[in-house]
Amino acid sequence: DSFHRWWDDLSDVRLDADVVDQLVDGVTHQASPEGATHDSVAVHATESQQRDELIVAMLRATRGLRGSDSD
Average pLDDT value for residue range 9-37: 82
Q: Are residues 30 and 36 in contact, defined by beta-carbon separation less than 8 angstroms? A: yes
Query: What is the rounded CA–CA span in Å between residue 35 and residue 52?
Result: 24
Parse the chain into domains and list their residue ranges: 1-36, 37-71
Query: What is the rounded CA–CA span in Å between residue 36 and residue 27?
Result: 10
Query: Residue 70: pLDDT band by 50, 70, 90 thresholds?
Result: low
Q: What is the pLDDT of residue 67?
A: 74
User: What does the DSSP assignment read for 45-67?
Assistant: HHHHHHHHHHHHHHHHHTHHHHT
Q: Where is mean pLDDT largest: 9-13, 23-27, 33-37?
A: 23-27
| pLDDT at 68 > cutoff 60 | no
